[in-house]
C-alpha cells in the first residue's frame, strides 16, 4: 500500500502549479490600474488626452467587445454544425 501511495505522490509532484485564467485577468487589471494611477501622480499636468477614458466609455467598450466575441463564437458554432 505504501508503494502505491508513493507512486501517486511522485506523479502529482511533477505537475507544475498553474494559476487560473480569472486570477491572471484580475492581476493584469490591477497592474494596469496601478500603472495608470502612478502615471497620473507623476505626470498630472500632461495627461489631458486621458479625459476620453470615462466610466461610460469603458462600459460601452466592454459591451461592444462582448457583443463582437459573441457574434464570432456564434459564427464558429454555426459553421461547425
- CA dihedral sign of residues 73, 74, 79, 81: positive
CA 55, distance to chain mean position in Å, is: 19
Q: Are the beta carbons of 39 and 47 closer than 8 angstroms?
A: yes
How far is CA 1 from each of CA 11, 14, 27, 64, rounded to the nearest angstrom? 16, 21, 42, 57
What's the mean per-residue pLDDT of the chain? 81
Task: Quick: pLDDT tens for 57-69.
Answer: 889 999 999 999 9
Kindly report whether the global pTM for this prediction surpasses the value 0.85. Answer: no
Task: Quick: pLDDT tens for 31-51.
Answer: 998 998 888 778 777 767 777
For residue 24, being part of any structural domain is answered with yes
Domain hosting 32: range is 18-80
For residue 12, being part of any structural domain is answered with no
The domain total for the chain is 1
Task: Quick: pLDDT tens for 9-39.
Answer: 555 556 666 778 889 889 999 999 899 888 8
For residue 8, being part of any structural domain is answered with no
Amino acid at each position: 500500500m505504501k508503494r502505491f501511495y508513493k507512486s501517486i505522490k511522485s506523479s502529482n509532484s511533477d505537475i507544475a502549479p498553474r494559476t487560473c485564467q480569472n486570477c491572471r485577468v484580475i492581476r493584469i487589471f490591477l497592474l494596469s490600474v496601478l500603472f495608470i494611477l502612478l502615471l497620473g501622480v507623476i505626470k498630472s499636468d500632461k495627461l489631458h488626452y486621458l479625459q476620453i477614458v470615462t466610466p461610460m466609455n469603458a462600459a460601452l467598450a466592454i459591451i461592444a467587445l462582448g457583443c463582437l466575441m459573441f457574434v464570432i463564437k456564434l459564427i464558429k458554432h454555426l459553421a461547425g454544425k
